[in-house]
Amino acid sequence: MQKLDLHSPMPVHFIGIGGISMSGLAQVLLGAGFPVSGSDSHLSELTEKLSAMGARIFTPQAASNIPEDTALVVYTAAIHPDNPEYAEAVRRGIPMETRAEFLGHLMANYPQAAAVAGTHGKTTTTSMVTEILLRTDCDPTISVGGILPTIGGNIRVGGGQTFLTEACEYTNSFLSFYPTHAVILNIEADHLDFFKNLDHIRRSFRAFAEEVPADGVLVLSDGVRDLEDFAEGLPCRVITAGLSPACDVYAADIAYDDDGCPSFTLFRKGGDCLGHVTLSVPGEHNIRNAAAAAALADSLGASAEAICEGLAAYRGTKRRFEHKGTFAGAQIVDDYAHHPQEITATLSAAARVPHARLICAFQPHTYSRTKALLPGFIEALSAADEVLLVPIYAARETDTLGVSSEDIAKGLRERGVASRSFSSFEEIEAYLRKILIHGDLLITMGAGDVYLVGERLLADTAVHQSTTSSASR
């Protein structure tokens, strides 16, 4: 393919344009004046937004959807060679790129291209950096892996020289990126349907770190195990960030409010104070995320004032300890956690929120992850008073591994934790309607669609309140 030049628009077609990441990339091109088309299996709010911006959207997917003048086809990892549009692009000899390859070429258009990587915390940390950069004059272009209210979605198209994005390790997609600045938050065993083991994952993250040029900057959180060994021999400047005073940027004087949200003072190594910060999101893990965000923003030229104001302004993204409402006097929170370390962080944060019982409705994500990390799930979830399981969210997989949600429930019961599995959302919702009482804290948790459980309970509350109000008039 010819080098992608944002100043030389060409027609680009996206297969799977309705995904949150693909739709964001399409928006960047539309903002630069590119003719954009794309297809997906169904229409959505994201495709409607793209259509309103001038994109040609097709559904369902078909060979005839690709415009005759298309210069490039971009496709997601979920698209296979037997897809009609993929096959048509091959037949016509149209240059093709994966989403990750295209994102890497897009990054190369920006003098400052920052990528946030890690097994956990990418969306939160990218969002924190976003809040900081919006308080500078760099006018950044930003791609977030979640919905950030401040930018009205998952993408911000700026006119400056700075690009900020998340960098996912799955299938080594982040090795297609060209960052001048990067962050690695943590490295844990995950995506074991692709990676062989933790050592394989660490090697991939090391390869990602080596992509940062000698005149670039890598921020390493002290959440990365064996930090010094991992960083040894890297050509770029390495900045450490976290909770230890040995880090180049660190948080100290930590305290928590009644909602579990921390306040702390940020320092540079040597005692230079950046300022005091009070976060509106709970948990120690978010202090580490904030320290990494501060270190990255500092390396990009943000002032100490912008760093502290931006971190304080961050109110969270959707599905990251998101307070949804109350049902029968019980608080309902939704969280994206789907890995044992993420679950531990979320439930640790929940422990600081006043409650009578902590009830977790968990949806495991993929059969391979559930089977590979089963003991970890049981250990992490045992921090709750009661754990309710719904069927595994298959995502890209089929059920061939002989594992189910009941395996987690059984393991929890053996540890003395109240737990049971349900065959459907309807069953778990009926159970929750019976048991939830004032003072309970219910967390719906998982990367699939378990959030619907809480939303349906809250919809019941809204209907009840509306009916009561109508009857009283």
Classify residue 5: in a domain, yes or no: no
* Inter-residue contact 307 to 140 (CB < 8 Å): no
Residues 301 and 329 in one domain: no
Asked whether residue 292 falls in the same domain as residue 423, the answer is: no
- Average pLDDT of the segment spanning 337-358: 89
| 290, 210: one domain | yes
For the question of residue 211 being annotated catalytic, the response is no
Long-range contacts of 233-238 (CB under 8 A, 24+ apart): 234/209, 234/210, 235/210, 236/209, 236/212
Structural domain for 62, as ranges: 12-98
**Domain annotation covers residue 271:** yes
Residue 2 lies in a domain: no
Residue at which a domain ends, from 295, 313, 331: 313
Place of tokens 């929120």: 353
For residue 2, the 8-state DSSP code is: P
Task: Write the CA distances from 126 to 151, 255, 317, integer angstroms.
Answer: 12, 24, 10
| Rounded average pLDDT over 427-451 | 94
Vertex 167 angle, CA 164 and 172, to 5°: 150
Looking at residue 473, what is its pLDDT?
A: 53
Q: Given a cut of 70, is residue 287 above it in pLDDT?
A: yes
**Looking at 43, 78, 98, which one is the last position of a domain?**
98
| Whether residues 403 and 381 fall in one domain | yes
Tell me which of 85, 122, 211, 240 is the catalytic residue: 122
Q: Is residue 3 part of a domain?
A: no
User: Which listed residue (123, 124, 366, 370) is catalytic?
Assistant: 123
Q: Is residue 376 included in any domain, yes or no?
A: yes
Could you tell me the strand order of the sheet in which 418-421 lies? 322-327, 330-335, 441-445, 358-362, 386-389, 418-421
Q: State whether 92 and 159 are in the same domain.
A: no
CATH number of domain containing 219: 3.40.1190.10
- Of 14, 55, 8, residue with least CA distance to 35: 55
Check whether residue 47 and residue 163 sit in a common domain: no
Domain end call among 41, 73, 98: 98
Tell me the pLDDT tens digit for each residue of 97-155: 999 999 999 999 999 999 999 998 999 999 999 999 999 999 999 998 888 889 988 88
Active-site annotation holds for 166: yes
Beta strand extents in 90-161 (DSSP E only): 96-98, 112-117, 141-148, 153-156
User: What is the number of structural domains in the chain?
Assistant: 3
- Which residues contact residue 257 at a Cβ distance below 8 angstroms, ignoring those fewer than 6 apart? 263, 278
**What does the DSSP assignment read for 324-363?**
EEEETTEEEEEE---SHHHHHHHHHHHHTS--S-EEEEE-
Q: What percent of the chain has pLDDT over 70?
A: 97
Nearest Cα residue to 342 out of 142, 101, 118, 54: 118
Mean pLDDT, rounded, of the chain: 91
Q: Is residue 133 domain-shared with residue 277, that is, in the same domain?
A: yes
Q: Are residues 260 and 191 in the same domain?
A: yes
pLDDT of residue 465: 52
Element (H, E) at 278: strand 272-278
Give residues with Cβ within 8 angstroms of 110, minimum separation 6.
Answer: 141, 161, 162, 163
Residues 285 and 393 in one domain: no
Q: Which of 88, 97, 166, 342 is catalytic?
A: 166
* Pair 39, 161 in one domain: no
Specify if 25 maps to a domain.
yes
Q: Is 308 in the same domain as 327?
A: no
Query: What average pLDDT does this structure show over 284-308?
Result: 96
**Does the annotation mark 344 as catalytic?**
no
Q: Which residues make beta-bridge pairs with 74?
A: 14, 97
Per-residue pLDDT at 470: 45
* E strand or H helix that includes residue 231: helix 227-231
| Residue 470 within a domain | no
Confidence (pLDDT) at 47: 93
Read off the pLDDT of each residue in 177-201 and give the average, rounded to a whole number.
Answer: 90
CATH number for position 55: 3.40.50.720
Query: Do 83 and 188 belong to one domain?
Result: no
CA dist 174 and 436 (Å) reads 43
Indicate the pTM of the whole model: 0.79
Q: Nearest 5°: CA angle at 212, between 30 and 12?
A: 20
Alpha-carbon distance of 343 to 407, in angstroms, equals 17
